[in-house]
Amino acid sequence: MTAMLPADHPPIRVACALIEQDGLILAAQRSEGMRMPLKWEFPGGKIEAGETEEDCLRRELAEELGIAVQIVRSLPPHTHRYPAFTVTLHPFVCAIVTGEIALAEHRRILWLPPAELAALDWAEADFPVIAAYRAALAPPPA
């Protein structure tokens, strides 16, 4: 059983990547052995002490997917409280520079158009990231 954390427990800081390629975005499905099994997420991981969000993202994508990326821009961070922990996501829009995707931790990946991302069974913290990304793509009002 998972213990409830006190309300003042600091959030877990996570860097995540919205990887763009040919107008599509990469979604990664968590494996059965991970926390929140089979939920979809943007790849990335926990930011270690003394590590920048960008350095974390580059390290995690090399470890998890075997790729190097160029960070194109950041999106606003988002904090989400789950029953057992709180996470702050630091999302970055990226492009693959080198490497071929090889899954080390995830069950599978999909490349989807931005409009279809919300159809997957995402980890709850990722929905505001999807919304922010899609809002950034929308043309300004006339």
- Indicate the residue type of 23: G
Say if 114 falls within a structural domain. Answer: no
Q: How many domains does the chain have?
A: 1
Over the stretch 95-121, which tens digit does the pLDDT of each residue have? 999 999 999 999 999 999 999 999 999
Higher pLDDT, 72 or 141: 72
Structure tokens belonging to residue 118: 């919300």
* The pLDDT value given to residue 139: 76
Say if 120 falls within a structural domain. Answer: no
Say if 135 falls within a structural domain. Answer: no
The chain-wide mean pLDDT, for the chain, equals: 92
Distance CA 32, CA 122 (A): 14
* The pLDDT value given to residue 8: 61
| CA atoms in the 13 A half-sphere facing the CB of 77 | 12
Say if 94 falls within a structural domain. Answer: yes
CATH code of 90's domain: 3.90.79.10
Whole-model pTM?
0.90
- In the predicted structure, residue 142 carries a pLDDT above the cut 90: no
Q: Please state the rounded mean pLDDT for residues 128-135.
A: 95
Q: Please state the rounded mean pLDDT for residues 50-68.
A: 97
Question: What's the domain range around 97?
Answer: 19-107
